Structures are given as structure tokens and as C-alpha cells.
Amino acid sequence: MPYLLLVLVPTLVITGLAAWKVRSTYARWSQVDSGINMSAFDFARYLLNAQGLNEVKIEAIPGSLTDNYDPRSKTLRVSSAVAGQPQAAHYDPYATSIGVPMTSRLSVAAVSVIAHEVGHAKQDQDHDPAMSLRQKIVPVAQLGSSLAPWLIIIGIFMKLTGLALLGLVFFAGAVAFTCITLPVEFGASKRALAFVEPLGLQGQRGEGAKQVLRAAGFTYVAAALTALLTFFYYILLLFGGGSRR
């Protein structure tokens, strides 16, 4: 019951809201023309080159909103949903008219997503402190998210407090990773807006880009909150008296 009340129910609510916000916001602004007459890959290349990131490779990746930048291989990956996004008939707020389908034009949502990943590439180039720190704790975070819960549970049930504490330390690394991710993601979004505003994403289009990036950022806030809730629950289990020998 404590787990249901303290972790499971809040996690389902928070993550559910975040997922709904991203889907609905992206769906709305994927129907609004950005005014940029390029393919997704050409636009990504244009932004990268404009920032002096000529060495960054561009690849396609399956899925929807799976776009990412890999600092290890210096690769920006564009999801199939963004790269091959069908441009349905849309309303152009600037022309106050219904636009015909155009496969070579990008939506406000697609431009925002690509610019965000270019923002990460720029952070990597500039050796952004938060991004560098996040990369350093990746191994601990991976252990924390996969192995730590088992160490904690086994340690508690077998009354091996040391083992449970070790698991808690590893899980703290995973929590730290989610928290450090926040300034990295918000920083990339700030850079993204600076990239696209001179290209015509101002006014209503600019507001759309902000909404898309804010919705994406909310998913990372949700991840950090749920990780903290789980961490506090583990602390309650360990120091609530049940694990002491």
C-alpha cells in the first residue's frame, strides 16, 4: 500500500500527463507550416553547418520522437516521423488560409525537434558542464536503474543492510542523472529557439516552437520527479526499521 500511494499512483499520473502533453502538442504543431522549404535532413545539415558542426553525422532512426544526439559518435539521429512527416492540408496563420500538402516543407513541430537536437550537438562542442557531467555518470546511472532495485530488495529481505545501502548509492546515481538531465535539456531548447527565430519562427510560429519544446521538457521533469519518489520510498524501507539487524 505505501508503494502504491507513494510511488506507483503518482508515477502513473505524472508520466501519463507528460506523455499526453507531448503527443497533443506535437500533433497540433505538426499541422502548422514552419515556412522552411527543406527536407528534415537538409534542415538538420543546414543548422549544424551554421554552428560550425560540419563533422556531425546525420542518420535516420525508426520511430516517433526518437530523435537524439549521440555525443560519443557525434551523430544526430532524425526519427522517421520527423524525416518522413506527411504534410497534410494545414492552416497557415500568417497567410490566414488553408495550405495544400507539401512534402518538402517542414512543420513547426519538426523544426523544433531538429533544432533541439542541434542544440545538444552545440552543447557538446562547447563542452557544456552539465552535459559533460551527465556523460561521466552514465555507467553509474545504468547500474542504478537496472541493478540497484534488486540489491535494495534482496538486502532488505535478507537483512543485509550493507547490500541494500550499496543499492541505494547506485540508485542515487540514477536519480542524479535524471536531475542533471534537466539543465541539459532546457539548455538545448533555449539554443534551439535562438536557432529558429531568425529563420521565421516568430509570432504564432515561435509560440508553437516554445510549446513543443516545453512539452518535451516536461517529460524530463516527470522522469526526475518519479525517480525522486522511488528514491525516497527506498529510504523509507531502509531506515523505517525493517532493514536493521
For residue 129, tell me if it sits in a domain: yes
Kind of pairing, strands 57-61 and 75-79?
A: parallel
For residue 55, tell me if it sits in a domain: no
DSSP state of 160: -
The pLDDT value recorded for residue 171 is: 94
- Categorize the per-residue pLDDT at 95 as very low, low, confident or very high, splitting at 50, 70 and 90: very low
- Categorize the per-residue pLDDT at 100 as very low, low, confident or very high, splitting at 50, 70 and 90: very low
The pLDDT value recorded for residue 7 is: 75
For residue 174, the enclosing domain spans: 2-37+106-239
Please, what is the Cα angle at 189 between 186 and 193, to 5 degrees? 145
Count of H helices and E strands in the chain? 10, 5
d(CA 6, CA 10): 7
What percent of the chain stands above pLDDT 70? 87
d(CA 76, CA 49): 13
- pLDDT of 3 > 80? The answer is no
Work out the average pLDDT over 110-116. 96
For residue 62, tell me if it sits in a domain: no
Please, what is the Cα angle at 88 between 32 and 205, to 5 degrees? 5
- pLDDT of 182 > 70? The answer is yes
21-30, 199-208, 236-245: the lowest-pLDDT one? 236-245
For residue 67, tell me if it sits in a domain: no
Identify which has the larger pLDDT, 64 or 90. Answer: 64
d(CA 69, CA 114): 10
Work out the average pLDDT over 136-154. 89
Number of domains making up the chain: 1
- pLDDT of 245 > 70? The answer is no
- pLDDT of 84 > 80? The answer is no
- pLDDT of 91 > 80? The answer is no
Count of CB atoms situated within 10 Å of the CB of 152? 24
For residue 42, tell me if it sits in a domain: no
For residue 82, tell me if it sits in a domain: no
Percent of the chain as helix, strand, coil, to the nearest 5? 65, 10, 25
For residue 244, tell me if it sits in a domain: no
For residue 86, tell me if it sits in a domain: no
Residue pair 75/57 in contact (Cβ under 8 Å)? The answer is yes
The pLDDT value recorded for residue 186 is: 96
